[in-house]
Amino acid sequence: MTEKLRIAVAADNAGVALKDALAAMLREDHRVTEVTDFGVPDATDDRAYPLLGLAAARAVADGEADRAVLVCGTGIGMQISANKVEGIRATVAHDSYSAERSIKSNDCQVLCLGGRVIGPELAKKIVAEWLGYEFDPDSASATKLGHITAFEHDHQLPTTADAAC
C-alpha cells in the first residue's frame, strides 16, 4: 500500500459499539491517515442506518474518503444503502476470503459489517487485512467490473459479445 487511506465510518445504534471499536483500531493503523466518523455518536441516537451510511458512501463517491466501513445490525441495510450511491461498490463480508476478494475481484470501496453478527476481534482482524489489499486495474476482474460501471451510466444491458469477457 503506497498511499495512506482516508476511511469513513458510520453505524446505526445496532452497530455503534463495533463501529467505535473499529474506528479506534483504524486511528492507530499506520496505513490510515484519517478516520471520519459519520455517526451515530452513541446508542441513544436512533437514526436509521441509511441516514448514516448514505452520507459516508457519498463521501467516498465524492473523493473525500478512499474507503468506508459501515456497521448496522446485519450489515445488509448499510450495503443496500451504500450501493445506491453512484460509483459505489459495497459488500457485506464476515469472512476473510470474501473481504479479500471484495477488493481484489470487485474493487469495493465499502465494507459493511453486522454488529449483531460478528464479534469485535474477528471484525478487527478482517478490517486490518482488508486495509492491506489493493485492486489491480490491469487485472481481468477490471473488465468484468467495467460492465457494471457501463450499466450504471447508460442502463443498457451488456450485449452477449460484451459479456464474453
Chain residues that interact with ligand LBSJTCU2, rule: CB under 6 A: 12, 14, 49, 72-74, 76-77
Residue among 71 and 131 whose Cβ is closer to ligand LBSJTCU2: 71
Among residues 72, 108, 112, 165, which one is catalytic?
72
Residue among 49 and 130 whose Cβ is closer to ligand LBSJTCU2: 49
Separation of alpha carbons 161 and 118, rounded Å: 41
Provide the grid cell at 138: 490491469
Per DSSP, 157 falls in state P
Q: How far is the CB of 145 from ligand LBSJTCU2 (least distance, A)?
A: 25
Residue among 57 and 131 whose Cβ is closer to ligand LBSJTCU2: 57
Per DSSP, 114 falls in state E
Residue among 72 and 111 whose Cβ is closer to ligand LBSJTCU2: 72
Q: How far is the CB of 76 from ligand LBSJTCU2 (least distance, A)?
A: 4
Nearest to 124 by CA among 30, 12, 20, 32: 20
Q: How far is the CB of 40 from ligand LBSJTCU2 (least distance, A)?
A: 11
Q: Is 112 marked active-site?
A: no
Provide the grid cell at 43: 446508542
Q: How far is the CB of 71 from ligand LBSJTCU2 (least distance, A)?
A: 8
Coarse DSSP helix, strand, coil percentages of the chain, rounded to the nearest 5 percent: 45, 15, 40
Length of the chain equals 165
- Helices 96-104 and 120-131 pack at an angle, to 10 degrees, of 30
The set of catalytic residues is 72
